[in-house]
Amino acid sequence: MSRFIRNAWYMAAWSEELTDQLLSRRVFDRQIVLFRRKDGAAQALADRCPHRFAPLSRGTRDGDAIVCAYHGLRFDGSGRCVRNPYADAIPHQAQVDSWAVVERHDILWLWGGTTGTADPALIPDFSPVAESSQVHAVRGYTLLRAPYEYGIDNLMDLSHIEFVHRGSFAGNGVIFAGTHRVREEGAAIHSDWWMPDVAAPSHTRGIYPPDMRCDHWLDMRWDAPASMALQVGSTPKGRPREEGIAVDQAHILTPATADTTHYFWASARRYELDSKELDGMLRTLFQQAFDEEDKPIIQAAYENLEGTDFWDAKPISLGVDAGGLRVRRRLKALLAREQDSR
Ligand code: FES
Ligand SMILES: [Fe+2]
């Protein structure tokens, strides 16, 4: 019984990671090889040849096919064996699993269910972080040694900024001055903070004077299984949001195994698009925040459970954690529904 929901879009990679080479990555506990056809379309196959189980990612590309490095069976992008170098006949079991892949907003999305049920209309909207003539994004990746739900807890409850991110985003008490609201909209769950009349937050540095009073917001949207879009925004006190400064971020978690998680992040801006210096500064800041601040505390908390299930450990609730709890319950319900329908 899988602990992952099948019928959802999982981020497999940033678009730029998939070149003309074969890319092997573990996603929902399957080893998957990704590659591009000649027309650029991405394909995803199980990274295991059905003959003697060599990783197909060790093979070579030949047009739109992969040739296994061990005995030369050739597979097309649908996983069908299209050539057996030893005979004309192709054994009918010579078929590898394949997954539907869609490339959108500079992200390669993998459908966890059977290919025929993939609906691209369900891919969550990450257009605010996609590169364009008006938008530039700094992107990164880190591997989290904890199940993906622990990453969701962290992101859907940003109260931790005040404690975990003192060295980077420097909350300075803004969360305590704010109100928090969790709401559902369609299939999405939102966890939003509204902090009126606070000193200019760090994301406005260099644009607003530090002592300027601002209305500040942190709006987080979750889509299954763990794709989160954050907007960090500030506007001069009392002014409409459209007049302010907003930074859009992606925080997308993809389970690699039961207890390791790919954490893809991006932060987009609409000013100084070509500044390499700003890219470097932001990258350093985000690496400090996500790699050196969030990751160690999430991993340590998970390890500290010593294998006990999250719910069995009877976590206490503080109210501010309502977003993470709502998502955990939703995931449980989605999983139960899929298991019932099998
Ligand atoms: S293991 Fe792939 S052809 Fe033999
Ligand atoms: Fe954090």
| pLDDT 10s digits, 235-291 | 999 999 999 999 999 999 999 999 999 999 999 999 899 999 999 999 999 999 999
How many CB atoms neighbour CB 329 within 10 A? 12
Structural domain containing residue 195: 127-340
Q: What is the mean pLDDT of residues 213-220?
A: 96
Residue finishing a domain among 122, 143, 161: 122
Residue finishing a domain among 72, 93, 122: 122
Query: Do both 219 and 327 map to the same domain?
Result: yes
The continuous run of DSSP H or E covering 219 comes out as strand 213-223
Query: Do both 279 and 166 map to the same domain?
Result: yes
Q: What is the mean pLDDT of residues 43-48?
A: 98
Give the whole-angstrom CA distance, residue 180 versus residue 322.
Answer: 9
CATH code for the domain of 247:
3.90.380.10
Query: Do both 118 and 136 map to the same domain?
Result: no
Query: Do both 98 and 14 map to the same domain?
Result: yes
> What are the pocket residues of ligand 1 if the criterion is a CB atom closer than 6 Å to any ligand atom?
49, 51-52, 54, 68, 70-73
pLDDT of residue 1: 44
Query: Do both 178 and 314 map to the same domain?
Result: yes
Residue finishing a domain among 54, 89, 122: 122
How many CB atoms neighbour CB 317 within 10 A? 9
Q: How far apart are the first and last CA of the chain?
A: 11
CA distances, 199 to each of 18, 235, 323 (Å): 42, 11, 26
Ligand 1 centroid from CA 76, angstroms: 14
Inter-axis angle of helices 148-156 and 322-340, nearest 10? 140
Question: What is the number of the ligand 1 atom nearest to the C-alpha of 56?
Answer: 2
- Predicted confidence band at 171 (pLDDT cuts at 50, 70, 90)? low
| Strands ordered across the beta sheet of 74-75 | 60-62, 65-67, 74-75, 81-83
CA geometry: angle at 251 spanning 146 and 236, to 5°?
135
Q: Is residue 320 part of a domain?
A: yes
Query: Do both 58 and 200 map to the same domain?
Result: no
- The amino acid sitting at 329 is R
pLDDT at position 340 over 90 = no
Domain count, the chain: 2
Question: Could you tell me if 226 and 10 are in contact, meaning their C-beta atoms sit under 8 angstroms apart?
Answer: no
Ligand 2 centroid from CA 126, angstroms: 20
Q: Is residue 2 part of a domain?
A: no
pLDDT of residue 70: 98
